[in-house]
A and B are shown apart, each in its own frame.
Chain A
Amino acid sequence: AQTVTQSQPEMSVQEAETVTLSCTYDTSESDYYLFWYKQPPSRQMILVIRQEAYKQQNATENRFSVNFQKAAKSFSLKISDSQLGDAAMYFCAYEETSGSRLTFGEGTQLTVNP
């Protein structure tokens, strides 16, 4: 079974600084999807960024980028120019190409200090 591990239960960053959240996963598949979801205190989960495993280029979305290391099964999220609104729980997630279900990591609680 696939597993997703986030080894940092909590992280903090100063406003305007850069922070990297770590995620590793385990799978025997060669093609799959990886996601970072954000869940602010209001609790509505929203997608931050996605990566398709067959694409070697790292995904970017404005201030958010990933470092996808397929051989190492690592998928870290970098947040640049951190803003107070980035404070949230961040979940790393894996999905097979069959698309049936997400496997979530345990989450990383990010605090942004003014």
Chain B
Amino acid sequence: DAMVIQNPRYQVTQFGKPVTLSCSQTLNHNVMYWYQQKSSQAPKLLFHYYDKDFNNEADTPDNFQSRRPNTSFCFLDIRSPGLGDAAMYLCATKPWPLTSGIDNEQFFGPGTRLTVL
């Protein structure tokens, strides 16, 4: 089945130690998103790619970086994780622009739960 895959599902890192989260998709969607979601809160968009074009949200800290080497893969790099970066990180994809027969919908992965010690 076509899907959005996130690895690892659980990641533990130490304060200040760089960490990379990965997302892959078999949907061949051209738009990919990274969200940060803290407990009982709405997802907060960090950035998104439209094809290779990177779009950073204005309030995303410089500590967060992203790479998209090809259509299928997207990475979230946290250069120096702080305790406040502990959260669930969600990857999502969607096709855009919409074409005939395609509905507007973001497809989410299961998330990576990041713990910072």
A95 interfacial by beta-carbon distance below 8 Å: yes
When the two chains form their complex, are residues A100 and B55 in contact, meaning their CB atoms are under 8 A apart?
yes
Residues 63-106 of B contacting A (Cβ, < 8 Å): 88, 90, 92, 94, 96-98, 103-106
Residues 10-35 of A contacting B (Cβ, < 8 Å): 33, 35
Give complex CA distance A107, B96 in Å.
26
A-B contact count (CB 8 A): 48
Number of interface residues of B (CB under 8 A): 25
For the residues of A in contact with B, the DSSP-based class is strand
When the two chains form their complex, are residues B96 and A91 in contact, meaning their CB atoms are under 8 A apart?
no
Residues 21-58 of B contacting A (Cβ, < 8 Å): 31, 33, 40-43, 45, 48, 50, 55
Residues of B within 8 A of A35 (CB): 105
Residues of B within 8 A of A104 (CB): 42-43
Instruction: Check A107/B41 contact, CB under 8 A, given A43-B111, A44-B109.
Output: yes
Give complex CA distance A98, B48 in Å.
14
Give complex CA distance A42, B111 in Å.
9
Give complex CA distance A91, B43 in Å.
9
For the residues of B in contact with A, the DSSP-based class is loop
* Central interface residue in A35, A89, A102, A107, by most chain B CB within 10 Å: A102
Residues of B within 8 A of A84 (CB): none
17 residue pairs from A and B, CB less than 8 Å apart: A33-B104, A43-B88, A50-B103, A50-B104, A50-B105, A91-B43, A99-B31, A99-B94, A99-B98, A100-B50, A100-B55, A101-B48, A104-B42, A104-B43, A106-B41, A106-B42, A107-B42
**13 new A-B contacts at CB < 8 Å, known A50-B103, A100-B50:** A42-B110, A44-B110, A45-B43, A47-B106, A91-B43, A95-B104, A99-B94, A101-B33, A104-B43, A105-B42, A106-B41, A106-B42, A107-B42
